[in-house]
């Protein structure tokens, strides 16, 4: 095994599967004796640079020598490779994402094991930025754009829910605004690292962290805070509501100085009404967000498809035409949507990235 440093500039305009927590990213790869000074794994993928690092893995950009296209490859952190739990969790991520075919989920292209025994996942290389970065750079989105983004996210989450997969970590950082080859911009869901397959019963294969809270605290539903085993599609619905609130307002519905106080607020208090912080938001959107954030799962929407349908009804009821927005939005992006008069109802699109 050979430790090789790669370029350490982490670009906000390339695929990032995890919250970046290490600006000096390096990755452990097996030495390829066949091609000196080049880094090739599985005889196929030529590693170019490290583009992201997080708690569970690192992401590199690579050339696929068979197809000629660039891809993103996620490796387990070297410190986790020896952990059976970590390897099962990594395999679960690959399994969950590979089953999903939605245009709004980052595609898994291949899985394998490097020469040093480290597992990896090959994914499409996304260009753009995640919605958390967009918020940090430009502030809250116009509510119509926030709705469009979350309708697209709900499309991908809905397929996962239909297949019995609960993401458990829906948040703006895991919603990537990707520029597609045709110039269009699509929201894509990334990072199924803690997803749960509620239809799969792996007796004796339960991950040891399953009895405790897994997820990102600000986006966790009350039941998820108690135990990550006791979740279903409605847990993701809560997180969708938090994302909608944050994208529209620039702030999360529950804020506190530490995790304990945050959990206390989530469990016992109601959030400030959306229209109290976003006065131009319609009452219908406020109602959708409030229903997503009900403490009792039974009071929420059943799944992401139900949230998507509610948002589409809201759009159809809107009296104002959806106008072209500022061309200076995220990455100079102009996002637009139009109400369609066709029988299909909603006709929306997101204008191209420059």
Across-strand partners of 129? 177
Closest by CA to 283, choosing from 291, 274, 292, is 274
| Terminal-residue alpha carbon distance, the chain | 42
Catalytic residue among 169, 191, 236, 303: 169
What 3-state DSSP class applies to 58? strand
What is the chain's Cα-based Rg?
20
Q: Rounded to an integer, what distance in angstroms lies between the CA atom of residue 125 and that of residue 341?
A: 35
Tokens of 128: 């753009």
116 is catalytic: no
Q: Rounded to an integer, what distance in angstroms lies between the CA atom of residue 58 and that of residue 230?
A: 29
Closest by CA to 245, choosing from 103, 146, 334, is 146
* Three-state helix/strand/coil letters over 58-92: EEEEEEECCCCCEEEEEEECHHHCCCHHHHHHHHH
Cβ(335)–Cβ(247) below 8 Å: no
Residues marked active site are found at: 169
């Amino acid at each position: 095994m050979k430790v090789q440093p790669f370029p350490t500039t982490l670009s906000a305009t390339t695929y990032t599967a995890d919250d970046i927590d290490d600006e000096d990213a390096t990755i452990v790869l097996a030495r390829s004796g066949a091609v000196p000074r080049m880094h090739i794994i599985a005889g196929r993928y030529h590693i170019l640079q490290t583009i992201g690092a997080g708690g569970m893995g690192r992401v590199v950009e690579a050339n696929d020598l068979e197809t000629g296209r660039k891809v993103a490859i996620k490796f387990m952190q070297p410190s986790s490779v020896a952990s059976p739990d970590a390897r099962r969790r990594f395999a679960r991520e690959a399994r969950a994402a590979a089953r999903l075919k939605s245009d709004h989920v980052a595609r898994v292209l291949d899985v394998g094991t490097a020469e040093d025994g480290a597992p990896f996942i090959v994914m499409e290389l996304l260009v753009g930025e995640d919605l958390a970065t967009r918020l940090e750079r430009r502030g809250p989105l116009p509510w119509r754009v926030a709705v469009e983004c979350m309708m697209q996210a709900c499309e991908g989450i809905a397929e996962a829910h239909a297949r019995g997969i609960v993401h458990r970590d829906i948040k703006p950082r895991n919603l990537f605004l990707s520029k597609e080859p045709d110039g269009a911009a699509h929201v894509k869901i990334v990072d199924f690292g803690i997803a749960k397959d509620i239809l799969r019963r792996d007796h004796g294969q339960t991950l040891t962290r399953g009895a405790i809270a897994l997820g990102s605290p600000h986006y966790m539903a009350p039941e998820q805070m108690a135990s990550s085993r006791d979740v279903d599609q409605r847990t993701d619905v809560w997180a969708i509501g938090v994302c909608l609130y944050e994208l529209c307002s620039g702030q999360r519905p529950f804020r506190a100085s530490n995790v304990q106080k945050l959990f206390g607020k989530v469990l016992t208090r109601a959030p400030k009404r959306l229209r109290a912080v976003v006065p131009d938001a319609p009452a219908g959107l406020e109602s959708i967000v409030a229903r997503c954030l009900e403490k009792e799962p039974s009071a929420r929407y059943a799944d992401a498809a139900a949230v998507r349908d509610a948002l589409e009804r809201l759009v159809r009821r809107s009296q104002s035409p959806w106008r072209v927005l500022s061309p200076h939005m995220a990455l100079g992006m102009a996002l637009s949507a139009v109400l369609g008069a066709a029988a299909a109802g909603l006709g929306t699109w997101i204008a191209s990235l420059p």
